[in-house]
Structure 1
């Protein structure tokens, strides 16, 4: 089963508010089985334009696990803090598994 990834791009308008969101959401990450792969304030843009000034990449065991974390009461309680502190885009992506090569 492919992994699930949550990618958030955030245009932070209230750093203290984002701190409150981070503190409120952190416990849900552990309980949801997330691995934080990246929190980057300066992504290298190769083409086009990128939204925001911070990008977060989370890894889950599956798309279903990512969706369950996002929909959880615990995480949803933190979401209004993020909405108040940043303009955010968020997506769930299905990981890619390379097909087996013939022997």
Structure 2
């Protein structure tokens, strides 16, 4: 079963509001066994346009686990704080496992 990843790009309008969101969202991420793989204020854009001031990549044990976290009551309490403080794009993607090499 592939891992699940939630990727958020955030155009922050209110840093204090985002700090409050982080404090409110962290317990839900811990409860869901999420790993924060990246938080970057200045990603290097290799092609095209990138949205926002900050990019966050969260890893979950599966796509289903990521969806459960995003739809959880615990995260639902934090989400309005983020929505008030930033314009965000969020996607859920499945990890990819390379097939084994044949000898």
Q: Which runs of 4+ in 1 moved over 2 A?
A: none
> CA RMSD of the aligned region, Å?
0.5
CA offset digits 1:9-48 (Å, max 9, x no partner): 0000000000000000000011011000001000000011
Give the 5 Å matches for 1:42-57.
42-57=42-57
Report the Cα distance in structure 1 between the residues aligned to 2:50 and 2:102, rounded to whole angstroms. Answer: 39
Structure 1 residues 66-86: Cα deviation after superposition (integer angstroms, max 9, x where no partner):
000000000011000000000
| Deviations, residues 33-64 of structure 1 (Å, cap 9, x unaligned) | 10000010000000110000000000000000
The residue aligned with 1:75 is 75
The answer to whether structure 1 residue 37 and structure 2 residue 37 are counterparts is yes
CA distance in 2, matches of 1:6, 1:73: 17
TM (normalized to structure 2)?
0.98
The answer for unaligned runs of 5 or more in structure 2 is: none
TM-score (norm 1): 0.98
Match in the other structure for 1:12: 12
How many residue pairs are counted as aligned between the two chains?
Answer: 103
